[in-house]
C-alpha cells in the first residue's frame, strides 16, 4: 500500500510540474503597443516569432521602427531556418506527449506489444 501511495504522489507531483512548465513557457499575446512592448520580458522572443513564423512586419506588429530595430538582423534564410526547426520540434513534442500518456494509460504488456516499454529491471527494487 505504501508503494502505491508513493507512486500516486510522484504522478501528482509530475503532473503539477508539467502544468506549471506548460503555463510558464507560453508567450503572452502580442499587444502591438510600443510603450508596453518595449518593457516586456518576452519582447525578443515575441518579435522574432512574429517575424519568422507569422511573416510579421513593422506594420503588422504595430511597432513601426522599434520592430525593425529589434528584428533587422533576421534574414529570410534565418526566418526559414527558425520556422523549419520550430515545426519539427512541435511535431516531436506532440509525439512525445503521446508516448508520455501511454506510459500512464497502457499496461506494460500493451506497451511492450507495440515496442514502447520501460525495462522492468529499472523497477525491480519497487516490487
Percent of the chain with pLDDT over 70: 74
Whole-number pLDDT of residue 28? 65
Task: Determine what percent of the chain falls in helix, strand and coil, rounding each to the nearest 5.
Answer: 75, 0, 25
Distance CA 100, CA 94 (A): 10
Percent of the chain with pLDDT over 90: 22
pLDDT in tens, 6-57: 767 777 766 665 565 555 556 667 889 999 999 888 888 889 889 988 899 9
The model scores a pTM over 0.75: no
Which residue has 506510459 as its cell numbers? 103
Question: Phi/psi of residue 101, each to 5°?
Answer: -65, -40
Task: Give 87's Cβ-side CA count (13 Å radius).
Answer: 9
Amino acid at each position: 500500500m505504501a508503494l502505491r501511495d508513493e507512486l500516486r504522489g510522484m504522478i501528482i507531483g509530475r503532473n503539477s510540474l508539467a502544468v506549471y512548465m506548460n503555463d510558464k513557457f507560453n508567450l503572452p499575446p502580442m499587444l502591438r503597443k510600443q510603450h508596453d512592448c518595449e518593457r516586456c520580458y518576452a519582447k525578443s522572443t515575441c518579435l522574432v516569432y512574429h517575424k519568422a513564423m507569422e511573416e510579421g512586419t513593422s506594420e503588422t506588429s504595430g511597432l513601426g521602427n522599434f520592430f525593425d530595430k529589434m528584428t533587422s538582423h533576421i534574414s529570410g534564410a534565418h526566418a526559414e531556418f527558425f520556422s523549419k526547426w520550430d515545426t519539427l520540434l512541435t511535431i516531436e513534442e506532440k509525439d512525445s506527449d503521446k508516448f508520455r500518456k501511454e506510459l500512464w494509460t497502457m499496461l506494460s504488456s500493451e506497451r511492450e506489444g507495440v515496442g514502447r516499454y520501460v525495462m522492468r529491471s529499472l523497477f525491480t527494487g519497487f516490487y
